[in-house]
Amino acid sequence: MHSTRLILLGPPGVGKGTQANFLVKEYCIPKISTGDMFREAISKKTALGKTAQEFIQQGKLVPDDAVIQMVHQRLKNADCKKGFILDGFPRTLVQAKALSEIIPIDGVISLMVDEQELIQRLEGRRTCVGCTKMFHATFSPPKKDNVCDDCGGELVQRQDDYRETIQKRFVEYRNLTKPLLKYYEEQKLLKEVNGLGTPEEIFERLLLILKQPS
């Protein structure tokens, strides 16, 4: 598989954002993270941000129409011409079908990790408000408490990483997002990658799979 219109699929906390950041560097294409876009809209207090916040805080998915419209606009940007990495989109069959009408996709990477492990990861997750780099309170702590190693920004826990919200996000994942695995498998686009290990190890596996002829 040589072209680079990719989807990163997987349950909450599996490491999609981290792997997407590696792919950005490897292929010089943008990451389109719907979660990041919503968080930005929330911090700018836009109308979309207000709508999204209500759903995100409850661990629910933002309604399809709003997400599809946002991604459709983003994909029109010139920087997407060479390809892109979709991180966190699509998350429902309705979104996947809408995407297929917007642009063809070359591959879908499914990152796989056991749910209990993921819950532990999410609870300790800390994100830099400056550059969105991720840390983990236990597994990959920053050198200085609550300060990003890369840009010096403040590290915060996302509201949707609180325990009760995490449980709800998994319910949404099982009911609405998991069916996408079968959907993309049927289209022969799905590539499964074991998501256990260091970010670098996982990325090595991911690259091997991407570089295999399809």
Question: Could you give the residue numbers annotated as active site?
Answer: 16, 91, 125, 158, 169
CB of 55 to ligand AMP, least distance (A): 5
CB of 123 to ligand AMP, least distance (A): 14
Residues contacting 155, CB < 8 A, separation 6+:
126, 127, 128, 129, 135, 142, 146, 147, 148
Per CB under 6 A, 15 contacts ligand AMP: no
Contact 138, 121 (CB under 8 A): no
Per CB under 6 A, 31 contacts ligand AMP: no
Distance in Å from the first CA to the final CA of the chain: 5
Per CB under 6 A, 160 contacts ligand AMP: yes
Peptide bond into 30 cis (omega under 30): no
Runs of H (alpha helix) within 93-174: 93-102, 115-124, 163-172
What residues pair up with 5 in beta bridges, in sequence order?
Answer: 84
Per CB under 6 A, 170 contacts ligand AMP: no
Per CB under 6 A, 62 contacts ligand AMP: yes
Cβ-based nearer residue to ligand AMP, 120 or 214: 120
Contact 111, 193 (CB under 8 A): yes
Residues 42-61 close enough to bind ligand AMP by CB under 6 A: 55-56, 60-61
How far is residue 90 from each of residues 141, 154, 166, 179, 188, measured CA to CA in Å?
A: 30, 29, 19, 11, 17
Helices 163-172 and 115-124, packing angle to 10 deg: 140
Cβ-based nearer residue to ligand AMP, 63 or 104: 63
Exactly one of 19, 20, 22, 38 binds ligand AMP (CB under 6 A); which one? Answer: 38
Cβ-based nearer residue to ligand AMP, 47 or 145: 47
Cβ-based nearer residue to ligand AMP, 69 or 138: 69
Q: Which residues bind ligand AMP (CB under 6 A)?
A: 12, 34-35, 38, 55-56, 60-62, 67, 88-91, 95, 160, 169
